[in-house]
Amino acid sequence: METMVASVFKGVLSPLLANLTTLTGDEFKKLKGVRKQASFLNHELSNMNAFLETLDLAQRCSAEVNPCAAGSTCARRSATGYGQRHRRFAPGS
């Protein structure tokens, strides 16, 4: 009797274990794909951040060389009347 019960359980569990193994393998493949995508996105965002930092540095350096250049904070503030000290020291004033 015990042998028969064990045989029934084995017969029921074998297909379940096979299905579970397949599902686990599929989930692993999906997670592996997500990890690759997350790594790619991390790399892309790091590159974008480096580009934006370089652009910001270039704009700040340009503003230091010519503080009243069009588009700089100094020029915008002067146009709105908020940067009076820059106009005071501008050449020809």
Q: What is the pLDDT of residues 75-93, one digit of tens each?
A: 455 445 544 444 444 444 4
Rg (CA), the chain: 34
Residues 6+ positions from 87 with CB-CB distance below 8 Å? 78, 93
Pair 87, 78: CB distance under 8 Å: yes
Domain limits, the chain: 2-65
d(CA 48, CA 25): 35
**How confident is residue 67, by pLDDT bands cut at 50, 70 and 90?**
low
In tens, the pLDDT along 6-30 reads 788 888 888 889 999 999 999 988 9
Q: What is the mean pLDDT of the chain?
A: 77
Phi/psi for 71 (5° steps) reads 90, -10
User: Left if phi > 0, otherwise alpha if psi is -120 to 50, otherwise beta: which for 92?
Assistant: left
